[in-house]
Structure 1
């Protein structure tokens, strides 16, 4: 099984599917913001950036998936972004379901000066909602809880794919070049 996953990670199809999943989540987030008029909070914007990080990892892996350095770089960017996103989603859910007077989120997003996304693309990266508001739910699960599930899946899969790199790939597979 792990040899098969190693083989999948050496092909572009798996990396493209990772890219496609992040692209769909980003399009969905933009639809929620602009189509449905749901105001994103700072934690929503930071989680969106974590999804972009996973997307970046997929693009790194797409460059040359047969080369170990590109695979590992892509997996590590993916893993780091999934961990950051998971932690942000957990904190977001904590603010919504276990409010504490000491726990708050910033009113404005704070990006480094060399990456001022909120100034370059304000329609995508400016926050004008409250982190404590529960503005959307599906199947009785709030958006912050869905983000925990999404990032947990990305995190789990990235760990399995990273671990699979220790095993030699299958020699013959439909996923190879």
Structure 2
């Protein structure tokens, strides 16, 4: 079973699943924005960025079967998910009034990666933080994203460890 899992996390199926989940998360965000009329706050935009980052690591691994690319993609995806969990956790704290900080209208992208200028339809901050819409099962969108991102992070950490174990076993 462990050998099968090691093979799976190195396969195109795994990386296809990563890309599919990333696209689904971005799709849900855009559905809420454009169909349900829920404007995104700065934390939502930053969450979208980290989802896009994970999606790009997934695409890189789909296009290349090189061990260095796939290993880097595992590390990059895990890092992106850590930051996604952080942003979604902050969103939950803000909506509960437990966050001691400010949320402005600036997405915080550097000038060399001005996604809010290049793709304002996806990355433009449109409202202040403090509210996320109702989602499913009585959760707000912020809570849903936090729980989903936490599960995805756990999965990515397991995949990273399996990938490392697979690499170590091949070296011997």
Query: Do the two structures share a fold, i.e. TM-score over 0.5?
Result: yes
Aligned position for 2:67: 68
| Pick aligned residue for 1:135 from 116, 128, 133 | 133
**19 and 134 in structure 1: CA distance in 2 versus 1, 3 angstrom threshold:** closer
Aligned position for 1:57: 57
Aligned position for 1:175: none
Equivalent pair of 1:108/1:128 in contact (CA under 8 Å):
no
Aligned position for 1:40: 40
Cα distance between partner residues in 1 of 2:163 and 2:59: 18
| Cα offset, 1:116, TM superposition | 0.5
Higher helix share: 2
Aligned position for 2:170: none
| Pick aligned residue for 1:104 from 96, 102, 119 | 102
Q: What TM-score, normalized to structure 2?
A: 0.90
Cα distance between partner residues in 2 of 1:2 and 1:147: 29
Aligned residues: 167
**115 and 4 in structure 1: CA distance in 2 versus 1, 3 angstrom threshold:** same
| Cα offset, 1:46, TM superposition | 0.3
Equivalent pair of 1:60/1:73 in contact (CA under 8 Å):
no
4+ runs deviating over 4 angstroms: none
Q: Gapped runs of 5+ residues in structure 1?
A: 170-177
